[in-house]
Each structure stands twice: as structure tokens, then as C-alpha cells.
């Protein structure tokens, strides 16, 4: 028995058909058939990062392709859920359309949220209502775990570290556990750096790693107070480093050398040259 021939098509139904064919126990792809939620999860995260990378590079051909890869992840998880009797792709679509309508009463119903701040406040209130309703559903299904849920329990642990730090700080800040100005945050960073220096001085590797985490957490908090997303800030610096180091490599190649054939002093000099030329996150070498 062979699967029916598939041809590309713009309708989402064709992608659903292809996914079903790939997962067919008899005629499907041997790799796709044996996958489960846990084995696919890393690919889902990776594809989301590749979408972000295409946006960062402003490569819209790649963005189209990467969004397709990310959509495939949604379809893949939905197919496995349908096979297990949990939900199907249509349920995913229904859930998100209902959520968008519910969260935008100022667009789809009568609402007084006429400016961005009011919309943001209304969005938070609706999310809180949804969270309470979800908690009740989980309780009824015996999935609520033991003991009361804390304020930070709604922050997913699988987020990238900086993003998780930002969301934890936002959640705590909403109940008043926060500094009201940048100054105390800078003081905290200096305090954490002092503790890191002390741990390094004692030669305590594990303690130093722990203190390093405290420094990064405090820096993420500074970004929040400056309204500068730390994840985006770091990605910008990463791009700047790529571009400046590429300049170093290119200039060394002009002299028939590679970085591993050069001294630190030579590379530092060319790095300073890259900075003086304005090479950074928006200007590749």
C-alpha cells in the first residue's frame, strides 16, 4: 500500500493531509511515525529561534520559509494530539480565534479601551480571568497539583534564561516587589559583581557560577527598568560582535593570515579599527 501523491497547495488542508500521511503507521515516514511530543519539542524551539533570526537579518524570503517550518511544528503537535484523542488542529485554530476576539473587545465589541495603555490594562485583566478559568478546569480534571499556586507559577520554565528572568521580574513587580527607579538596580548590580569577585578570589567555581547568574539576573532587571528587552539587547550585541570580528578576519586575510596565525594585539588593533569605522549591529564588515 502506498500513500497518495501529494502536491503543494496554498490551503492549510493540504499540509494537514501531508502530516497525516507522514504519520501513517503503515505507509508513513519511519522517522515521523516514531516521534512524540518530547522528541519534537527541541525542534519547535529551534524553529522559533530561526524565525527570529530571519527577522533580525531582514531576510523575508527566509522568513517565509522559516514561518512555514514553525507552522509545521504546530501541525505536527496537533496531529499527535489528535491521534491520542486530546485535540485536533481545528481545535487549536478555534481556541486562538476565540482568544483573540475575547482579548480585543475594543475591536470586536463595545469597549472604552481607546489608547495603548488602556488596551494593555484590559489585556492583563482578561488574561487574569482566563488564567483563573484555566486553573478551575485543571482542578476539575485533577491536574492542579498539590498546594496553592504562586504568582510566579505562570511563567514557563522552558523559556530562554533572559526572557524567563524578565517575566519573573514583571510578575513580582506587579505585586510591588520591585524598585521604583534605576539607581537601586545599578547598586544591586554592583553588589552582585562584588560577590562574584569574592567567589572568584576564593577559587570557588560553583559559587562563582551561582554569583554569575545573580549578576545576569540583575542586568536583566536593569533592562526591564530601561524598557530595553535584555534578550533583544544581547542579540544586538551578538550581531555587533559577528560583524566586527568578520572585519578582523577580512583584514587579516588581506595580509594572508588567519586569526589563529595572529597575535591578540593584532586582532585587538583591527577590532578597534572596526569600531572606529562604525561597524556594529547595523553595519556588517
- Amino acid 267: pLDDT: 97
- Within this chain, do residues 117 and 203 fall inside the same structural domain, yes or no? no
- Within this chain, do residues 77 and 114 fall inside the same structural domain, yes or no? yes
Higher pLDDT, 147 or 118: 118
Domain final residue, candidates 192, 213, 228: 228
Distance CA 157, CA 153 (A): 9
- All three cell numbers of 230, joined, read 535584555
Higher pLDDT, 198 or 103: 198
- Within this chain, do residues 117 and 182 fall inside the same structural domain, yes or no? no
DSSP 283: B
- Within this chain, do residues 218 and 179 fall inside the same structural domain, yes or no? yes
- Within this chain, do residues 244 and 263 fall inside the same structural domain, yes or no? yes
Would you say residue 190 lies in a domain?
yes
- Within this chain, do residues 82 and 108 fall inside the same structural domain, yes or no? yes
- Amino acid 218: pLDDT: 97
Q: Please give the average per-residue pLDDT across 116-136, as a whole number.
A: 79
- Within this chain, do residues 236 and 216 fall inside the same structural domain, yes or no? no
Q: Tens digit of pLDDT for each residue in 157-166?
A: 878 889 899 9
- Within this chain, do residues 113 and 208 fall inside the same structural domain, yes or no? no
- Amino acid 143: pLDDT: 67
Domains identified in the chain, total number? 3
- Within this chain, do residues 85 and 174 fall inside the same structural domain, yes or no? no
Domain final residue, candidates 188, 208, 228: 228
Would you say residue 148 lies in a domain?
no
Would you say residue 143 lies in a domain?
no
> Would you say residue 1 has pLDDT above 50?
no
Would you say residue 146 lies in a domain?
no
Computed over every residue of the chain, the mean pLDDT equals 90
DSSP 29: -
* pLDDT band, very low/low/confident/very high, at 127 (cuts 50, 70, 90): confident
Would you say residue 141 lies in a domain?
no
- How far is C-alpha 227 from the geometric centre of its chain's CA atoms? 17
Higher pLDDT, 112 or 132: 132
By percentage, how much of the chain surpasses pLDDT 70? Answer: 93
Place of cell 556588517: 284
Q: Tens digit of pLDDT for each residue in 195-252?
A: 999 999 999 999 999 999 999 999 999 999 999 999 889 988 998 999 999 999 999 9
Q: Tens digit of pLDDT for each residue in 22-55?
A: 999 999 999 999 999 999 999 999 999 899 889 9
Would you say residue 40 lies in a domain?
yes
Specify the range with the lowest mean pLDDT, choosing from 57-71, 110-124, 169-183, 206-220.
110-124
Domain limits for position 115 = 12-125
- The answer to whether residues 280 and 240 touch, using CB atoms and an 8 Å cutoff, is yes
Q: Please give the average per-residue pLDDT across 109-133, as a whole number.
A: 76
- Within this chain, do residues 28 and 82 fall inside the same structural domain, yes or no? yes
Would you say residue 263 lies in a domain?
yes
Kindly write down the DSSP assignment for every residue of 143-168, as one continuous string.
Answer: -S-SSPPPGGGGS-TTS-HHHHHHHH
- Within this chain, do residues 188 and 222 fall inside the same structural domain, yes or no? yes
* pLDDT band, very low/low/confident/very high, at 110 (cuts 50, 70, 90): low
In order of 30, 38, 67, the CA distances from 35 in angstroms are 9, 8, 21
Q: Please give the average per-residue pLDDT across 188-193, as a whole number.
A: 97
By percentage, how much of the chain surpasses pLDDT 90? Answer: 67
In order of 55, 113, 120, 121, 122, the CA distances from 117 in angstroms are 26, 8, 5, 6, 9
CATH number at residue 207: 1.10.287.1080
Place of cell 564588515: 285
- Within this chain, do residues 260 and 212 fall inside the same structural domain, yes or no? no
Would you say residue 17 lies in a domain?
yes
Specify the range with the lowest mean pLDDT, choosing from 15-19, 92-96, 122-126.
122-126
Amino acid at each position: 500500500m502506498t500513500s497518495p501523491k501529494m502536491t503543494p497547495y496554498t490551503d492549510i488542508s493540504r499540509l494537514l493531509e501531508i502530516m497525516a500521511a507522514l504519520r501513517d503507521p503503515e505507509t508513513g515516514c519511519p522517522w515521523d511515525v516514531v516521534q512524540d511530543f518530547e522528541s519534537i519539542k527541541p525542534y519547535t524551539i529551534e524553529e522559533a529561534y530561526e524565525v527570529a533570526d530571519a527577522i533580525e537579518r531582514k531576510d523575508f524570503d527566509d522568513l517565509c520559509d522559516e514561518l512555514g517550518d514553525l507552522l509545521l511544528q504546530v501541525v505536527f503537535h496537533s496531529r499527535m494530539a489528535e491521534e491520542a484523542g486530546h485535540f485536533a488542529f481545528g481545535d487549536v485554530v478555534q481556541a486562538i480565534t476565540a482568544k483573540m476576539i475575547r482579548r480585543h473587545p475594543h475591536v470586536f465589541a463595545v469597549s472604552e479601551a481607546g489608547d495603548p495603555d488602556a488596551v494593555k490594562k484590559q489585556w492583563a485583566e482578561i488574561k487574569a480571568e482566563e488564567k483563573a478559568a484555566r486553573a478551575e478546569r485543571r482542578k476539575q480534571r485533577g491536574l492542579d497539583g498539590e498546594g496553592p499556586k504562586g504568582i510566579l507559577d505562570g511563567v514557563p520554565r522552558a523559556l530562554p534564561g533572559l526572557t524567563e528572568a524578565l517575566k519573573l521580574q514583571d510578575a513580582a513587580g506587579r505585586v510591588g516587589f520591585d524598585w521604583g527607579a534605576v539607581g537601586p538596580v545599578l547598586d544591586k548590580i554592583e553588589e552582585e559583581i562584588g560577590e562574584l569577585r569574592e567567589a572568584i578570589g576564593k577559587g570557588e567555581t560553583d559559587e562563582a557560577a551561582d554569583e554569575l547568574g545573580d549578576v545576569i539576573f540583575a542586568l536583566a532587571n536593569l533592562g526591564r527598568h530601561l524598557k530595553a528587552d535584555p534578550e533583544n539587547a544581547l542579540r544586538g550585541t551578538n550581531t555587533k560582535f559577528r560583524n566586527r570580528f568578520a572585519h578582523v578576519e577580512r583584514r587579516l586575510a588581506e595580509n594572508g593570515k588567519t586569526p589563529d596565525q595572529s597575535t591578540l594585539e593584532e586582532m585587538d588593533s583591527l577590532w578597534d579599527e572596526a569600531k572606529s569605522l562604525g561597524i556594529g549591529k547595523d553595519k556588517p564588515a
